[in-house]
Structures are given as C-alpha cells and as structure tokens.
Chain A
Amino acid sequence: MILDTLHLTKETLREEVEKMKSKGYRFVTITCLEIDEDFVELLYHFDKDLELIHYRMQVAKGTTMPSVSTIFFAAFLVENEIYDQFGIKFDDLVLDFGGTLYLDEDEEEVTSTPFCRYSVKRK
C-alpha cells in the first residue's frame, strides 16, 4: 500500500503551497524520511474537511529548502525539527532555533543528524 501523492519540486514548492492556501487547505505537517545515503524524502500533508492531500519531493541531503513558514506560520516548528533531525536547512524561517530546538547546544550531537543512518556533517 503506497500513499497517493502529488509530485513537487524545490522550485514549485512555494507556488503550490500558496495555491493550497487559497483553496482553503490547512497545513498539517511535514514528514521527513531517509531514502539512502544521499537523499531524503519530504512529505507535505494538507487537510480540508477531513480529506488529506500529500505532496512528495526528494531532495539531496544538505540542501537548503525554501521555508513555507512565511505562508503557514504553523510550519515553523516542524521545519526546525527537520533541521535538528535530518540536517535539511530551511531559508527565511519565521522563528529559527538554529538546530537547537531539541538538541542541546553544548553537546556534540548538535553537529550530527540523529535521525539519519548515514550521518552527514551539518553546515
């Protein structure tokens, strides 16, 4: 069983999200999962009248993504979380914790990405 998803790229992301907002959809969350050594997958979930719509996108590890938190304020928490756990950085975050949302700044962990099996150095 595979989720029905719509395709998305880094370039069309903001545009599509703006469109979803004007259609009256509500931002639910972003799921990040590791595919292999070099790639992660981002799933954007939107909801309207109990109906979920998922967008899928593959990005290379260490990429900087455009943030959707300027469109949906609610996204800032989950984008910070993904930076903590997978090292995907988001530009123009409304509230940037700089990789210390959960992880402590004094510990070594902050420089690693705990949710990746193949750890990447964060920039």
Chain B
Amino acid sequence: MLKKLIEKSQIKSPWIVHYDCGSCNGCDIETLACLTPLYDVERFGVLNIGNPKHADVLLVTGTVNHRNKKVLKNIYDQMSDPKLIIAIGACGLSGGIFKEAYNVVGGVDKVIPVDVYVPGCPAKPEAIIDGVVEGLAKLGELQQQNKTDAIAS
C-alpha cells in the first residue's frame, strides 16, 4: 500500500533539485522564476528542495566542464530510482554557444543520461514547466519498467 502511495505521489507531486552546471545564469533565473507567483509551479505540486536524496527530478542548466562533471555525476548517483533528468537550455543540450571553448565537455548527456531536453537560450519558464510535465509521463513509464524488472528477477 505504501509503495502505491509513493508511486502515485511521485507523479502527482514531484520533488525537484536544481543544479547549475556552468550556465550564464539565464536559465537559472528562469528556473527560479517558475517557483514565483506568476508561474507558481507549486500549484501543480512541484516542490523545489536542496537535497538530491529526496528528489525525483533533476534539473540541469548549462554546459558541463571538466570540474563540475564530477559534481553532476555525484548528484545523479545520490538520487534514488526511478529518477528523471531534464536538461535545460541550449548549453545543457549541446554546449550551445560555448561548444568550442576549451574547458567545455559538451551537453549534459555526455555525463549522465537525459530524459527530457528543453531548448531555448534561455529557456522560457513556460517551456521549463512543459518539460517537467512531459517528463512526468516518462517517470510513470520508468516506474512500470522498474516493476516488471523486479518481477522478472
């Protein structure tokens, strides 16, 4: 019963952790703007928290460089399954305008698997909210998959 409750609440009220990888702040402040009165994602049950161990969804903004890729991997590993990774902004997708810079590895998917890509430079709050909603459908699929995997083993 408890399991069912957790499964349901994970979709109905996803908890989000945000990590800024190396963005120019544009996407960060737009992600923060999602939490504020005009967009207010909390009305959908989306909650921003600081602890990756509590989170279901990881929002990553910005390019990955040689130093922060370890931090990103670390945060990813600390999150419990099933987890949803959303890359935000042109930099998070491919490296964007900084792709040719010497300290840039590339998009977020070079380091961790990404489920949803939100384009834009910077991505608009509407697009970010849409990305999270898109992602929740995928989170449901992941839950199902985890279940069948558990039965099979």
Chain A residues near B (Cβ < 8 Å): 102-104, 106-107, 109, 114
Contacts and interface: CB of A to CB of B under 8 A. Distances in A.
A80 B2 CA distance: 54
A25 B98 CA distance: 36
15 contacts: A102-B67, A102-B103, A103-B66, A103-B67, A103-B103, A104-B65, A104-B66, A104-B67, A106-B66, A107-B66, A109-B66, A109-B102, A109-B103, A114-B102, A114-B103
Q: How many interface residues does chain B have, given as a range? A: under 10
Contacts, number: 15
Q: Shortest 9 CB-CB distances between A and B: which pairs? A: A104-B66, A104-B67, A107-B66, A114-B102, A109-B66, A102-B103, A103-B103, A103-B66, A114-B103
Interface of B: 65-67, 102-103
Contacts of B66: 103-104, 106-107, 109
A107 B105 CA distance: 12
A114 B66 CA distance: 14
Contacts of A104: 65-67
Contacts of B102: 109, 114
B62 to A, nearest CB: 15
B8 to A, nearest CB: 42
Nearest to B67: A104
Given A103-B103, A109-B102, A114-B103, 12 more contacts: A102-B67, A102-B103, A103-B66, A103-B67, A104-B65, A104-B66, A104-B67, A106-B66, A107-B66, A109-B66, A109-B103, A114-B102
